[in-house]
Amino acid sequence: MSDLGSDLPAAAAALSAEDRAGLVNALKDKLQLLAGQHVDILETLPPKVRQRVEILRDLQSQHDEVEAKFLEERSQLEAKYQKLYEPLYSKRYEIVNGVVEVEGVTNEAVPEEGNKPAEEKGVPDFWLTAMKTNETLAEEITERDEGALKYLKDIKWCRIDDPKGFKLDFYFDSNPYFKNSVLTKTYHMIDDDDPILEKAIGTEIEWHPGKCLTQKVLKKKPRKGSKNAKPITKTEKCESFFNFFNPPEVPEDDDDIDEDAVEELQNLMERDYDIGSTIRDKIIPHAVSWFTGEAAQSDFEDIDEVDYDDEEGDGDEDEDEDEEEEEEEEEEEEKKGKSRSKVWMESVIQYILFHSWIRLQLLLYIFVLTICLTVWYWYPYYMQCFVGLNCRVVAGSNLVRISRQSALLNASSSSVWLCTNRPGYV
């Protein structure tokens, strides 16, 4: 994201005339570029086809004129019925804020006098609950915002003619967060065939000290050995519903706006307008339905009906396909259930085969185990053979000794006989 994109926070000031002119000029340049591309497309068409397209463009112009009349009449009709809604909105305000008590309404279960809870006036957290039930607004409301939005008493809107647009007024009770009793958001629209947002202006919120919900304070410990022993504080902008009252800012210099920045700015302004139109068209006229959750459920039902109609248009073929898919899934699940053990064994075998170091270890363990078993099995036989051999060797050595001794005795006796029988022997 470019640096310019990061300098487009929701906490910017209202757009000035120069800012508005810069944005409009940038949009015009983009539209002219697109128009030039359309002209190039027309030039590539054959003459007869181009003539037919020109007739279609004339029809489109006539359609736009009729649509412009429709928008004008619709605006007048909405203004007429807006006056008829005002008495109903006033009664709603009185009931929600406990100005008047509703008569003729009985509770199904009345608690005993001893267990009777403290009586609350009106409908607590009425607007907060209604806004949180809406998906678009729920994304903007944080937990920190809920404390301040509990003091919201009423929301009103009205049309403005010079310049054209509409205004939202948020009425707050006295609260510990800010001094303002009314926060206003005004949308200025370009008077064209279709309403285009020109700029949005919000009220500057006067926050009480330390209660700003659009900023958070970060404390950083000082470095060791530094002279300043106090922690370093730094404020950063954070997400908050109250950023809604500080619309995006357009740079004053048109030359600094590139295509990416223009596109990002358009997205921010569209998001801002989407929030305002949701409050105007959904929350204000149907607040109690959003409070009870009926409006949210109705939105989901509408989406489901559209999806169901699309599915019915596909015919019975889709149903047959769904049944076949379900049967196939059931068969696959059965096969999976039966072959779980087989798959487990195969996975173990594959694991062993594809890991050579495990195979080597197993072979080594098997070799060592084989040697140990062999030695353990043949050890007694080896010992018997060894003892027998030793006995035979000892016996043989004794025989040799005896024969040698007998030979010595024989030799000595022979020598004696020779000496005694020798001539001259006395």
CA distance 208 to 175: 10
Nearest in space to 71 (alpha carbons), one of 193, 189, 215: 193
Task: Summarize pLDDT for 205-249 with one digit per residue, the tens.
Answer: 999 999 999 998 887 777 776 666 677 788 899 999 999 999 887
- In this structure, whether the domain defined by 123-223+231-250+261-292 belongs to CATH 3.30.1120.90 is answered with yes
pLDDT under 50: residue ranges of the chain: 1-17, 109-110, 192-193, 391, 393-397, 399-400, 402, 407-408, 411, 414-426
Task: Summarize pLDDT for 82-133 with one digit per residue, the tens.
Answer: 999 999 999 999 999 999 988 765 555 445 555 555 677 899 999 999 999 9
Q: pTM of the prediction?
A: 0.58
CA distance 383 to 385: 5
CA distance 113 to 119: 12
Domain boundaries, the chain: 19-86, 123-223+231-250+261-292, 347-380
CA distance 42 to 53: 8
Tell me the three state secondary structure of residue 16. coil
